[in-house]
Chain A
Amino acid sequence: MIETSPPPQPAPPPVFAVQKRRLRFLGLTLDDTIKAFFGGNALVAVVVLALITVFLFREGAGFFGQNRTNLEIYRQAGLEYVDFIRRQTDDHTALTRYLSDLRLRQVMILTERERRPLDEVNAALAPFDAFAEQFSATVDPLRALLSDLTEQVTAIKTKFIVTQDRKEERRQLLAEGKPAEADAVKIDTIDFATELKPILGALPLYKETSREFSRKLVALLDSVPSLPSPELHPRMEKLKQLARNYAAGFPAIERDMEAWEHTFPVPAWETFTAFLFGRQWLTASFWQDWYGILPLLIGSLLVSAVALALAVPLGVGAAIYVNQIASTREQRLIKPCIEFISAFPSVVLGFFGIAVLGQALRLLSQQPWLSWMPGFPYSERLNILTAGCLLALIAVPTIFTLAEDALNNVPRAFKEASFALGASRLQTITRIIVPASLSGIISAVLLGLGRVVGETMVVLLCAGNRIAIPDFTSGLAVITEPVHTMTGIIAQEMGEVVRGSIHYRALFVVGLVLFVLSLLINYAAQKIVRRYKLSIG
């Protein structure tokens, strides 16, 4: 057969007109415009995230500069110099506290165990009390000197701040175009070297006082009365050792003070380290403001740790139970209930903590049969434990839902194959189901952590709000101490600060840290989930 020409055909009429001109606006058809509109909306998420970053930086950026100035004044006005002495006296106060703690223990032993009447106990402790009295009095001359110096340097600092304010006033007047008024603003010049002369001049006096103090202290240690209970003797020995070490440190302080110059520069990195590793968050203080995030960060982490320690076993356990063990009827009852718990507003839980849980936990801690628990009994109603318990209730639904999803995603065939090989249900769960969904569960826990770290109201209301690094020396008992958190501090102080002040900016930097932390947690969770997806298939 041959491919011959087709029979003569008329030229095809334009029967198939599929080229239609559509209305165009700026080169876009209506459909393109609609698509662009929706696309723009999808961009909002990106834009918001970018804006959050921008505004946190915008408001927080000035902090580090201002904090450097803050640290410079601290040095130039001599506050740092005086703080050498202050630390010395503070350490002494710590020793005195150790002594009174010792007395308290002794009294407890005598009254509760040996059932001796109180006046008899007091009489027995009379020599000890006399010693303690003398011990605490040794520091008095030094303290007097300290308070003199404090007054002087505070005056210098105030003077400096006034000049700064005047400068600012003049700058504003100039900006407003009022040179005459600007000239009228009198600005004193401050020569720190002259101002500091009397303070540095007090060094010989300090040395004398300090050496006298040291001599008295060490002499006193030779005549320490022994306590009635032998079991406390090691503690007494420890005190002696501590006090000797303390006194031995005095020459070092003297050397530091001699070497100190108000002109030492404050390097730029110090403002960062002072923030990230600063152990104090102290604001609106008469002496010196410190913006160290460490106590807040530690508070946040401790509360989260307690919350997760409770929520992970409960949440994951519940997920395993509901997904693998429970009957369909029980499933249908439990799932909405847990979802319902997730809808509890955090402020209501916080209120519950204040009104009921704090008190209930304290009462529980005072039960004798629970005294083996670390830190029990305790007296602070609002503390890490209270906040942690409530946060656990917030984290459980998150962990439960996500972990249940992960368990659900394990292919049925895995389970059936395991059963077919003669494994029991428990073996199947522990060896097949949980390992297969492990990364999903871990990411669930991470997202729960993110939820807990970012939670505000519960910690603000229930964590006790004491800005200090809690005492880790007693081990796990740390969870019965009150703390303050990053979220809590923002919520508490943001409403009261002056806009643009260093304190205001510091709060934004804390927000920035929180933001970065949440992104990191999220990133880790996503990373784990992605790997998990690959492994399943």
Chain B
Amino acid sequence: MNAATHVFRSTAGARRGERAIFWLFRAATWFVLLCGAAVFLNIFVKGSRTVFKAEAPFINTTFLTEAPESLYIFEWEGKKREMGDREFRAFKEQNPAAAHVATESYVYSAGGIWPCIVGTVLLVVGSMTIALCLGVSAAIYLNEYARDGAFIRFVRLAILNLAGVPSIVFGLFGFGMFVIFFGWNVSLLAGWFTLAFMVLPVVITASEESLKAVPKGFREGSLALGATKWQTIRKNVLPYALPGILTSSILGIARVAGETAPIMFTAAYVVRDKLPWDVDRLGDFFFQGVMALPYHIYVVSSKIPQNDYTERVQYGTAFVFLFIVALIATSSILLRNHLRNRYKW
């Protein structure tokens, strides 16, 4: 039989059309990835110029360990000089003639971002602690104790809706409740609670999923041996769910670290000279505002002009921030895949 005429012959035209459409879908997918890569690489490449150096120790320690300063640019003895605030003052003392030299100055463009890194870490640690305590407990209730009923449906509805509330609304809420009503002012505590409530639905959902992944047999086996509900949960459910809960919650950390809107009026200062641990009393620690990386990016990208001098701090901050968030997110994704393979019962 002639191969070209048998009944199962594929119709070339239809197949070509199908393939063209599949390629279109493929192009859409890769276009998205390309856009993501473009953003990432742009910030990575330009930012690494600020963060890394050509000579040892290869990392710009000034940028990572000092507070932001104003940058002064002036011409001195025929050469263009760039100096940070403190350096410039010292320079003027040495060369009194320089006191009246014409300078260009840009705020926040010299020095580093150390206080912002510290502030972000503090915000993340505090809010995730609160969110995990509340969220894991809530998930335990929903998955282990609750029986389907009007109350539980109501709680689930609330969680779902809470997940959809815009972050700026959380910011307004935190401002109205913690900053004004409770009188905490712009403080770490206000920021912690605002961020914790924002990330709560993520933590609850992640925890519930991990609890669900623990087989029913573990619970039944334990209960059949005369364990109480709480003993069962504590000894035979939580230990196996905990790794899952923690890894999934890391994505929550990325969200907490990345949000700007909720902390804008609850916890973040544009600039603050003192580091958070420079407090007189321990109690003051909780009631101080901090600088934070995302807010700093907002400030340096919208409040100061864009030119070659300011670009360094802008890209440098964005780089450090993106690096931290990406690290958190990647580790979460990898850990989760790892756990999925490990815990199979």
Contact = CB atoms under 8 A, between A and B. Distances in A.
A345 interface: yes
B39 A349 contact: yes
A450 B283 CA distance: 39
A307 interface: no
A348 B321 contact: yes
A426 B18 contact: yes
Among A354, A400, A457, residue most surrounded by chain B Cβ atoms (within 10 Å): A457
Interface residues on A, range: 35 or more
Given A35-B141, A338-B33, A354-B306, A56 B169 contact: yes
A313 B36 contact: no
Contact of B228 (A31, A345, A514): A31
Contacts of B26: 321, 325-326
B240 to A, nearest CB: 18
B174 to A, nearest CB: 9
B137 A495 contact: no
Interface stretch (A39-47, A219-227, A410-418): A39-47
B115 interface: no
Contacts of A343: 251, 254-255, 258, 325-326, 328-329
B85 to A, nearest CB: 24
A33 to B, nearest CB: 9
A340 B329 contact: yes
B229 A522 contact: no
A514 B32 contact: no
Given A326-B26, A511-B172, A38 B141 contact: yes
Contact of A321 (B25, B42, B144, B159): B25
Interface stretch (A7-15, A274-282, A367-375, A486-494): A486-494
B158 interface: yes
A117 B14 CA distance: 59
Interface in A402-426: 424-426
B333 A340 contact: yes
Contact of B265 (A314, A346, A495): A495
B36 A393 contact: yes
Contacts of B259: 345-346
B73 interface: no
Interface string B303-345: 0001000010011001001100110111001000100000000
A460 to B, nearest CB: 8
Contacts of B328: 343
B214 interface: no
Given A348-B297, A515-B169, A31 B162 contact: no
Nearest to B163: A522
Given A45-B204, A321-B28, A511-B172, A487 B137 contact: no
Interface in A29-82: 30-31, 34-35, 37-39, 41-46, 48-49, 51-52, 55-56, 58-59
B32 A396 contact: yes
A46 B155 contact: yes
Contacts of B229: 31, 34-35
A347 interface: yes
Interface string B41-73: 011000000000000000000000000000000
Interface residues on B, range: 35 or more
A352 B43 contact: yes
B164 A348 contact: no
A271 interface: no
Contacts of B294: 345, 347, 457
A56 B160 contact: no
Interface string B138-173: 101110111000000011011111111111111111
Contacts of A461: 298, 301-302
B46 to A, nearest CB: 8
Contacts of A201: none
B21 interface: yes
A454 B28 contact: no
A514 B25 contact: no
B180 interface: yes
A317 interface: yes
A455 interface: yes
A348 B43 CA distance: 9
A355 B314 contact: yes
A44 B134 contact: yes
A456 B254 contact: no
Contact of A42 (B141, B170, B314): B141
Contacts of B161: 49, 519, 522-523
Given A343-B329, A499-B180, A45 B301 contact: no
B306 A508 contact: no
Contacts of B28: 313-314, 317-318, 321
Among A51, A354, A456, A508, residue most surrounded by chain B Cβ atoms (within 10 Å): A456
B155 A345 contact: no
A356 B44 CA distance: 13
Contacts of B239: none
A39 B168 contact: no
Contact of A356 (B40, B42, B177, B337): B42
Contacts of A453: 166
A518 to B, nearest CB: 5
A41 B169 contact: no
Contacts of A31: 228-230
A296 B134 CA distance: 36
A56 B176 contact: yes
Contacts of A426: 17-18, 21-22
Sort A-B residue pairs by CB-CB distance and give the 6 closest, nearest first. Answer: A454-B166, A345-B258, A41-B137, A343-B329, A38-B141, A317-B28
5 contacts: A39-B141, A41-B138, A354-B306, A355-B314, A400-B32
Given A48-B197, A346-B259, 18 more contacts: A31-B230, A46-B154, A56-B169, A314-B31, A340-B333, A341-B36, A344-B36, A348-B322, A424-B14, A426-B18, A426-B21, A454-B164, A457-B298, A461-B302, A511-B168, A515-B165, A518-B169, A523-B161
